[in-house]
Chains A and B, each alone.
Chain A
Amino acid sequence: MDTTAQHEVAHEAPLSSGPRLTLSGISKSFPGVRALHNVGLSLYPGQVTALIGENGAGKSTLVKIMTGIYQPDAGTISIDGQPVTLPSAHAAFGHGITAIHQETVLFDDLTVAENIFLGHAPRTRFKTIDWRTMRKNAREVLDTMGAGHIDADARLKDLGIANKHLVAVARAMSIDARIVIMDEPTAALSMKEIEELFLLIEFLKSDGKAILFISHKFDEIYRIADRYTVFRDGEMVGEGLIKDAGQSQIVRMMVGRSVDHIFPQRKAEIGAPVLAVSGLSHPTEFDDIGFELHRGEILGFYGLVGAGRSEVMQAISGITRTSGGTITLEGKAIAPKSAADSIYAGIVYVPEERGKQGVVIGLPIFQNVSLPSLKRTSKSGILRLAEEFALARSYTERLDLRASSLSQDVGTLSGGNQQKIVIAKWLATAPKVIILDEPTKGIDIGSKAAVHGFMAELVAQGLSVIMVSSELPEILGMSDRVVVMREGRIAAVYDNKGLDAETLVRTAAGIAA
């Protein structure tokens, strides 16, 4: 780490107005996805630059390039005007680039001091770790940051998330990091902790660090950032000084023109009740859940993360057990004991975790689509490939899947196209009720529009849809009625006529109107 120290000395002279780190013409593709196309970004010493963009805009890919985890396909990176390459995380570290992630990547079982000095601990004459100096230095670093309340000998796992962030910052200070990347650092913090973090960012600014701040929250961006850069679909669509840009201007850059045609117009013809749930309970996750779903209806389920929405849906679809309550489908009581039971009855659950629960990576597209429908595509247990291809083709083409062939491994598709496979496979079972859990999480805008358009098509054909979503525009844009859950119970059910986002957020959070 001696080299970093020398760099620091060489460049500490008067703060030049030029950027400390410049990325230009950066492109990066993965099989089937173009994550970044010709993007640029500049970070200035003593300034905070906010990187803004929707999920899937390419922000995290860029962070991984800056920290040496991914190599760009094209483009240049320069620090203080000198071109550099970052072939490894170690190289990025050596150039004084450090990242603080949403969930900190530190070591839970090591002490605070060990975490701060891991990899560059002070040594004794015999090259063993000089524990005394290390503890002393750790305390000094924490003190200068105003984080003297953290015990340098505490194990990291005994600290709260906010204090873990402070340790990560202390680590950045201890290696004389000159470029600090903060990837949604406030996501898990309380209001008070966010304030403390902002004080710390001010301190880092005054210390001349160049800071990249990634957040979805506009109030934070306007509070702390000096500059902004906006990404959309892997391209840089705007940058400038925060004080010159209005909030609506940045939102427009983020979502582009496509915001208008995201939600399809549809005529709701809502029929008789199809699914009725009453008194559904679980020992720990939810209690006394009751609602009705009608033919041709999209029923939105809104709530905070952890409100128990996914758990309810998994119980209805037989994946988890319940401790009581009834589920009635078309007038008949059902008690599914497995996903196989509920698929047979006509209820399918399209899970939230696409990679873990949705697609089977390693199997080709057509085999993924036919997996829940094998009973239908096979004859007395013997596979009929022609049937499988026909089934896969009819559903994937309706969803506008982009793939080179149906025998392609699903692992080579982009997130949005994998999501189309996930929806296609459960839809191919010809269900009466389809439960979509966060159907557009982390997919690009084009795929989102395809999924929304398809949902409208489904209900028009008389299917009933339950849509669990944490995205307010999606809930408001797609639902006929909205169920709001809070702490495992149903807090309210609203008709989506003149319903506004604020009401939903208040109900979900339990704030009285």
Chain B
Amino acid sequence: MTDTPAPRHIPDRLDKPLTSAIFSWEALLVVVAVAIFAVNSFASPYFLDAWSLSDLTFNFTEKALIALAMALLIISGEIDLSVAAIIALASTMMGMAVQAGAGMPELVAIGLVVGLGCGAFNGLLVTRLGLPSIVVTIGTMSLFRGIAFIILGDRAYKGYPASFAFFGQGYVWWVVSFELTLFLVAAVVYWFLLHRTSFGRRVFAIGNNPVAAQFSGVRVGRIKFILFCLTGLMAGIASVLITSRLGSTRPSIAQGYELEVITMVVLGGVSILGGAGSILGVMLAAFIMGLVTFGLGLLNVPGIVMSIFIGLLLIIVIALPILWRRVRRERFA
């Protein structure tokens, strides 16, 4: 029984790179981004302005930083719904430190350590106890934010030092903000990690078949634990940025961010079932989400309509990649 009249020599690749690039999900995202950009520039006279565009980036950079790590986590077949609550807890801890007289370096360290610690806690519950991550992180979502509420009640922490304001409000060069620069640097790091290292390859293997990966000598638990830690760390970084940008901490800070982060990841073409996705797609999706929310803002669309829009976008982006892959499969089968 022969499958194909195969030669003894098997070539590395057969794909014509051009066609597969044209029909890729990322190419579609570029088209969508250009279209929304064009619509925005027609819809509002204030849109095409260097400072407007710079402001636009603040709409997504904090969430997109988390989305980079979340993409790896979702590719590995897990999820973290507690990221927004981690932001709240980390911000609250920073606020407490400010009351105790902490300076800028201590604040940043606290933000990162709390984020990392929360991620490690999630990771331990999932990998050591073998609990499903969706349940664990729904639990820690309430837990982390609950602690923030107990500490703060309806008060707010203010009085962050002036040197702390740079992270969320500073510019590296002209209109290029520190947040945007950090996001671009992080995106390159995550791109390299996912697509160019053996760690990234193992993440894909786990997402496609965790049992076969384990049998192949992949330390599945350890890699998943690292991914939860990275996601927590990125939430900690986002917490530093948001706290710095707002200059205050309330327990309701970053409420609902987790859904926007996951929307970004899925819109970026990461399979919600795990096993597939790219960092380039997540970056493009982050830009698109920023463009859309900023455009709606320029048009004075009220906040509640925006949340309807985010909800619809989430449903569409989960359905669309599945339909898109079906079309691709028929074309290239």
Check A406–B212 contact: CB distance below 8 A.
no
A389 at the interface (CB under 8 A from B): yes
Stretch with Cβ within 8 A of A (4 or more), from B53-61, B144-152, B203-211 = B203-211
A 382-418 binary contact with B (CB < 8 Å = 1; else 0): 1100000100010011001111111110000110110
A183 at the interface (CB under 8 A from B): no
Alpha-carbon gap, A372 to B217, bound state (A): 6
Check B205–A383 contact: CB distance below 8 A.
no
A351 at the interface (CB under 8 A from B): yes
Residues of A within 8 A of B8 (CB): 397, 400
Check B214–A403 contact: CB distance below 8 A.
no
Closest B residue to A350 by beta carbon equals B215
B63 at the interface (CB under 8 A from A): no
Check A382–B12 contact: CB distance below 8 A.
no
Query: Which chain A residues numbered 328 to 381 have a C-beta less than 8 Å away from chain B?
Result: 338-340, 342-344, 349, 351, 356-363, 366-367, 371-372, 374-375, 377-378, 381
Sorted nearest first, the 8 A-B pairs with minimum C-beta distance are: A362-B208, A340-B217, A374-B198, A402-B6, A405-B14, A378-B198, A343-B217, A372-B216
Check B205–A363 contact: CB distance below 8 A.
yes
Residues of B within 8 A of A34 (CB): 1, 3
A425 at the interface (CB under 8 A from B): yes
Q: On chain B, which size bracket covers the interface?
A: 35 or more
Alpha-carbon gap, A32 to B4, bound state (A): 7
Partner of B10, one of A342, A375, A406, A426: A406
Closest A residue to B9 by beta carbon equals A397
A319 at the interface (CB under 8 A from B): yes
B250 at the interface (CB under 8 A from A): no
Check B10–A396 contact: CB distance below 8 A.
yes
B304 at the interface (CB under 8 A from A): no
* Number of A residues, CB within 8 Å of B: 58
Q: Which one of A33, A374, A445 has the greatest number of beta carbons of chain B within 10 Å?
A: A374
Closest B residue to A56 by beta carbon equals B1
Distance from B209 Cβ to chain A, minimum over Cβ atoms (Å): 4
Residues of A within 8 A of B276 (CB): 362
Residues of A within 8 A of B208 (CB): 360-363
Check B212–A359 contact: CB distance below 8 A.
yes
Query: Which chain A residues numbered 51 to 70 have a C-beta less than 8 Å away from chain B?
Result: none
Closest B residue to A366 by beta carbon equals B12
Check B13–A405 contact: CB distance below 8 A.
yes
Check B3–A413 contact: CB distance below 8 A.
yes
Check B196–A382 contact: CB distance below 8 A.
yes
Alpha-carbon gap, A444 to B1, bound state (A): 7
Partner of A371, one of B6, B196, B197, B218: B218
Distance from B177 Cβ to chain A, minimum over Cβ atoms (Å): 31
Closest A residue to B215 by beta carbon equals A357
A446 at the interface (CB under 8 A from B): yes
Partner of A383, one of B14, B198, B219: B198
Residues of A within 8 A of B9 (CB): 397
Residues of A within 8 A of B333 (CB): 31
Check B205–A425 contact: CB distance below 8 A.
no
Distance from B194 Cβ to chain A, minimum over Cβ atoms (Å): 11
Residues of A within 8 A of B11 (CB): 404-406
Distance from A234 Cβ to chain B, minimum over Cβ atoms (Å): 7
Check A378–B197 contact: CB distance below 8 A.
yes
Query: Which chain A residues numbered 406 to 442 have a C-beta less than 8 Å away from chain B?
Result: 406-408, 413-414, 416-417, 425-426, 429
Check A360–B212 contact: CB distance below 8 A.
yes
Check B212–A33 contact: CB distance below 8 A.
no
Query: Which chain A residues numbered 26 to 43 have a C-beta less than 8 Å away from chain B?
Result: 31-34
Alpha-carbon gap, A344 to B1, bound state (A): 36
Closest B residue to A338 by beta carbon equals B219
Alpha-carbon gap, A34 to B4, bound state (A): 10
Residues of B within 8 A of A357 (CB): 211-212, 215
Alpha-carbon gap, A447 to B2, bound state (A): 10
Residues of B within 8 A of A234 (CB): 1
Alpha-carbon gap, A446 to B2, bound state (A): 9
16 CB-based A-B contacts, threshold 8 Å: A361-B209, A362-B276, A367-B201, A367-B205, A371-B218, A374-B198, A383-B198, A383-B201, A396-B10, A403-B6, A404-B6, A404-B10, A405-B12, A406-B10, A406-B13, A414-B3
B 5-23 binary contact with A (CB < 8 Å = 1; else 0): 0101111111100000000
Distance from A428 Cβ to chain B, minimum over Cβ atoms (Å): 11
Residues of A within 8 A of B201 (CB): 367, 371, 374, 383
Check B214–A407 contact: CB distance below 8 A.
no
Alpha-carbon gap, A437 to B98, bound state (A): 62
Closest B residue to A359 by beta carbon equals B212
Check A32–B212 contact: CB distance below 8 A.
no
B199 at the interface (CB under 8 A from A): yes
Distance from A430 Cβ to chain B, minimum over Cβ atoms (Å): 13
A233 at the interface (CB under 8 A from B): yes
Check A32–B3 contact: CB distance below 8 A.
yes
Query: Which chain A residues numbered 426 to 474 have a C-beta less than 8 Å away from chain B?
Result: 426, 429, 444-447
Partner of B218, one of A32, A340, A362, A366: A340
Distance from B75 Cβ to chain A, minimum over Cβ atoms (Å): 11
Alpha-carbon gap, A102 to B11, bound state (A): 42
Residues of A within 8 A of B275 (CB): 362
Closest A residue to B221 by beta carbon equals A338
Partner of B3, one of A375, A406, A417: A417
Distance from A145 Cβ to chain B, minimum over Cβ atoms (Å): 41
Residues of B within 8 A of A233 (CB): 1
B224 at the interface (CB under 8 A from A): no
Residues of B within 8 A of A32 (CB): 3-4
Q: Which one of A234, A363, A389, A403 has the greatest number of beta carbons of chain B within 10 Å?
A: A363
Known A371-B218, A414-B1; judge A393-B10 contact (CB<8 A): yes
Closest A residue to B193 by beta carbon equals A381
Residues of B within 8 A of A397 (CB): 8-10
Query: Which chain B residues numbered 1 to 52 have a C-beta less than 8 Å away from chain A?
Result: 1-4, 6, 8-15
Alpha-carbon gap, A444 to B3, bound state (A): 11
Q: Which one of B15, B196, B198, B211 has the greatest number of beta carbons of chain A within 10 Å?
A: B198
Residues of A within 8 A of B197 (CB): 378, 381-383
Alpha-carbon gap, A48 to B280, bound state (A): 61
Distance from B89 Cβ to chain A, minimum over Cβ atoms (Å): 32
Alpha-carbon gap, A413 to B208, bound state (A): 16
Residues of A within 8 A of B96 (CB): none
Distance from B193 Cβ to chain A, minimum over Cβ atoms (Å): 9
Partner of B212, one of A356, A374, A404, A446: A356
Check A363–B3 contact: CB distance below 8 A.
no
Closest A residue to B192 by beta carbon equals A382
Known A374-B201, A402-B4, A405-B13; judge A362-B217 contact (CB<8 A): no
Check A339–B198 contact: CB distance below 8 A.
no
Alpha-carbon gap, A319 to B10, bound state (A): 33
Distance from B180 Cβ to chain A, minimum over Cβ atoms (Å): 27
Alpha-carbon gap, A383 to B12, bound state (A): 16
Partner of B213, one of A349, A371, A403: A371
A233-B1, A383-B198, A446-B2 are known contacts; what are 7 more A-B pairs with Cβ within 8 Å? A234-B1, A402-B2, A403-B6, A406-B12, A407-B14, A413-B3, A444-B1
Residues of B within 8 A of A416 (CB): 1
Residues of B within 8 A of A344 (CB): 217
Alpha-carbon gap, A351 to B219, bound state (A): 17
Alpha-carbon gap, A447 to B213, bound state (A): 24
Check B3–A33 contact: CB distance below 8 A.
yes
